[in-house]
Amino acid sequence: MYKVISNDKLGPNVHRLVVSAPRVAKARRAGQFVIVRKEEGAERIPLTIGDADPQAGTITLFIQAVGAGTKRIVATPAGESLRDVAGPLGLPTHLEKWGNVACIGGGVGTAVLYPLAKALAEEGNKVYTVIGARSAEQVILADELAEFSEKVFIATEDGSEGRKGLVTVVLEEMLSGDLPRPDAVFAVGPVPMMAAVAEMTRLRQGFGGQARQAAIPTIVSLNAIMIDGTGMCGGCRVTVGGETKFTCVDGPEFDAHQVDFDGLRNRLGMYREQEAAALKECKLAKQLDEIEEAE
């Protein structure tokens, strides 16, 4: 059993859980994840390890409660326990000293971005963080990211905080030289966002097919559907550079310019009906939604 030490709400449906998991806290490296089960027989939920304190023996998990499984996990108060926390799983982030690195987080993907950005800064890179959200109340972890970023840029779709628009508004300013030009880009968020970032950092062609701007190495962290998390079931497969890869053991980070984002989007939508049915049947999820609406 893994005791929940604290459970804070960061934004609408987004929680930060600090969980006692001493072995994971000691072994984990940036970019890795765990698979969590609330109780025996419960859905297995893959969650990025946001941070860890090996001395205290704790890990931090950021969770967006959208389905029945995640809603049950965030309903665990401090003092109660989670049945399983299996990990650390996946390959750690490939760290090198790139120079200027743009770290781009879309919505709750910002939570997955946090450990990568922190590790890149510790490696000696200048981290320029971009957080995109629909509106100010959905912006998460801006203060925490500011602790090690050269600068944090915020873009909201309704203009309630920072620039008005999508994260790509800020990336465009970086690519055009109005802001420091990145030597590498890390992007985590909704699939259309990661696809849009990848398109912008590919080799751009000028007149007569001449390269106008060099391609910028771009890494994305993929949130494929996972079951076992050990490369056995094939549930998390993605096509990267024309080859089938398993997100859980070959990733979750991949070269954005090689990822088949359309295939990923299709696979993520495969169980939408079953997910909706599970949510409808979950009494706890209904209670939590009522509390959320009342707030």
- Alpha-carbon gap, residue 268 to 258, rounded angstroms: 18
**Residue 44 is a binding residue for ligand FES (CB under 6 A):** no
Q: Which stretch binds ligand NAD (CB under 6 A): 26-34, 88-96, 215-223, 271-279?
A: 215-223
**Residue 132 is a binding residue for ligand NAD (CB under 6 A):** yes
**Residue 73 is a binding residue for ligand NAD (CB under 6 A):** no
Classify residue 282 by its DSSP letter. Answer: -
Neighbouring residues of 53: CB distance < 8 A, sequence distance ≥ 6 = 25, 59
Single residue of 228, 260, 275, 289 touching ligand FES by CB under 6 A: 228
Peptide bond preceding 88 in cis form (omega within 30 of 0): yes
- Alpha-carbon gap, residue 177 to 181, rounded angstroms: 6
Neighbouring residues of 276: CB distance < 8 A, sequence distance ≥ 6 = none
Compare residues 233 and 279 and give the one whose CB is closer to ligand FES: 233
Angle ∠(126,258,156) on CA atoms, nearest 5: 50
Tokens of 221: 């962290």
- Alpha-carbon gap, residue 131 to 188, rounded angstroms: 10
The residue sitting closest to ligand NAD, measured at its beta carbon, is 107
- Alpha-carbon gap, residue 74 to 18, rounded angstroms: 11
Single residue of 42, 86, 95, 227 touching ligand FES by CB under 6 A: 227
In angstroms, what is the minimal distance from the CB of 231 to ligand NAD?
18
Number of residues that bind ligand NAD (CB under 6 A): 22
- Alpha-carbon gap, residue 169 to 134, rounded angstroms: 14
- Is 159 strand, coil or helix? coil
Q: Which stretch binds ligand NAD (CB under 6 A): 23-31, 106-114, 240-248, 270-278?
A: 106-114
Compare residues 20 and 105 and give the one whose CB is closer to ligand NAD: 105
Place of tokens 């920072």: 162
Single residue of 232, 270, 277, 284 touching ligand FES by CB under 6 A: 232
Q: Which does 22 bind (CB under 5 to 8 A by kind): ligand FES, ligand NAD, none?
A: none
103, containing H or E segment: strand 100-106
- Is 200 strand, coil or helix? helix
Single residue of 7, 70, 100, 221 touching ligand NAD by CB under 6 A: 221
* Torsion (CA) 194, 199, 200, 201 in degrees, nearest 10: 90
**Residue 198 is a binding residue for ligand NAD (CB under 6 A):** no
Q: Going residue by residue from 237 to 256, which x/- string records binding to ligand FES, judged by CB under 6 A?
A: ---------x-x--------
Q: Which does 192 bind (CB under 5 to 8 A by kind): ligand FES, ligand NAD, none?
A: ligand NAD
**Residue 31 is a binding residue for ligand FES (CB under 6 A):** no
**Residue 50 is a binding residue for ligand NAD (CB under 6 A):** no
By CB atoms closer than 10 A (0-12, 13-18, 19+), residue 24 is: buried
**Residue 89 is a binding residue for ligand FES (CB under 6 A):** no
Binding site for ligand NAD (CB under 6 A): 106-109, 112, 132-134, 155, 157, 166-168, 188-190, 192-193, 196, 221-223
Which residues form the interface with ligand FES (CB under 6 A)?
A: 226-229, 231-236, 246, 248
